[in-house]
Structure 1
Amino acid sequence: MEALNESIDLNTVAEITLSYRPKVSLSQRPKVDCSRQVYEVLLRFWNQDSLEYVEQFQVMLLSRGNRVLGISTVSTGGTAGTVVDAKVVFAAALKANASSIVLSHNHPSGNLLPSEQDKRLTRRLVEIGRALDLPVLDHIILGREGYYSFADEGEL
């Protein structure tokens, strides 16, 4: 950076404040130990009116003991896809001081198999998670009648 001779007015610099205010104690939150439990929590949380209508991407934030800290909706798209910004995925996790995350999205078509785009996105987010020491434990594709787990299928 080049040195400037003009002074900087600190009143023009925004202060950033991060906070996380849980309303429920950690012991009262659901604990997830397998993909089936993750699916059940996600399915209860998901807006049932949009499950078979538009694609949404959500991230489940977990404590070190796999208690659900929260679920954050990252994006909502159309009938055939949604845009996922990695910064938004990990901003929520970092703000909640999560120890790990589970990625999730629905396929309005009901087809639970991942597309090549789903696989590429998953690999990219897993790589970013490693760099941040914030592991991605799974990526669940869900529908009303079941789910697909990247972890169960050995794709993580």
Structure 2
Amino acid sequence: MQEKPSPFSIKYWSDDDRPREKLARKGKTVLSDAELIAILIGSGTKNESAVALSKKILASVNNNLNELGKLSIPQLKQFKGVGEAKAISIVAALEIGRRRRGSAVEKSAKISSSKTVFELLQPIIGELPHEEFWIVYLNNSHRVMHMAQLSKGGITGTLVDVRLVLKQALELGAVALILAHNHPSGTIVPSLADKKITKKLKTASEALDIKVLDHLIITQQSYFSFADEGEL
């Protein structure tokens, strides 16, 4: 005997309650975050709709999509009704969104303040669960010539090769640099290692007549500027 479909099955929903149909008929902007996630996961459980399951997932991170993007596949799989395939779909979609914000940044922008640097790099490294160290190479008008990830490490820190920084600066003809890395812990207080690498890069760059204008520690919502705080 064939099992009767659950009343939570999408086939019982009105068109306005079906996220896919709603998006097709009314456009993407009218959908809630939960409805968009419901489209990603496709189905809920026997006793819970995909939208209800999505609301539960969002509630666990206080309805913050940035926090949702930090959840791992195992963490998402802890929700009943979310298997590996659904968890991967959520992680992949949010990573695409993060990369989209990063690629939308105007890389020829003129750097006029530490806030400009934060706005440039926060979409790229501000929400990562691990540390990354980036270099922004500038021309004599302080416009961005190139941005590069110098190192990628665990949550405890990164390794920085000064020679690679200066080699690329010379190849690009850059006259100034801005250093930046993220703190996944959320703290913007510079560590002793942060201060040492700043001094090391500043001294080495000056020997080649290249200026280090700033070093930013970036988190999801804020930043620390060595230049602003008089520590450069």
The interval holding the TM-score normalised by the smaller chain is 0.7 to 0.9
Aligned residue in 1 for 2:119: 40
Q: 2: distance between equivalents of 1:88 and 1:141?
A: 20
Q: 1: distance between equivalents of 2:179 and 2:216?
A: 6
Aligned residue in 2 for 1:92: 168
Q: 1: distance between equivalents of 2:166 and 2:121?
A: 18
Residue 153, structure 1, aligned to residue 220, structure 2 = no
The 1:47/1:152 distance shift into structure 2, 3 A limit, reads closer
Relative CO higher for 1 or 2, CA cutoff 8 Å, sep ≥ 6? 1
Aligned residue in 2 for 1:105: 181
Aligned residue in 2 for 1:5: none
In the TM superposition, 1:2-151 aligns within 5 A as 29-44=108-123, 46-47=124-125, 51-151=127-227
Aligned residues: 126
Give identity over the alignment, percent: 40
Higher gyration radius (CA): 2
Deviations 1:46-87 (A, max 9, x none): 156xx3311000000001001011101100000110100101
- 4+ runs deviating over 6 angstroms: none
If each structure's helix is expressed as a fraction of its own residues, which one has the higher value?
A: 2
Q: 2: distance between equivalents of 1:95 and 1:108?
A: 31
Q: TM-score, normalised by structure 1?
A: 0.77
Gaps of 5+ in 1: 1-27
- Retained in 1: the 8 A contact 2:135–2:150? yes
Q: TM-score, normalised by structure 2?
A: 0.52
Secondary structure of 2:135's match? strand
- Retained in 1: the 8 A contact 2:177–2:210? yes
Deviations 1:12-59 (A, max 9, x none): xxxxxxxxxxxxxxxx82011110011111123x156xx331100000
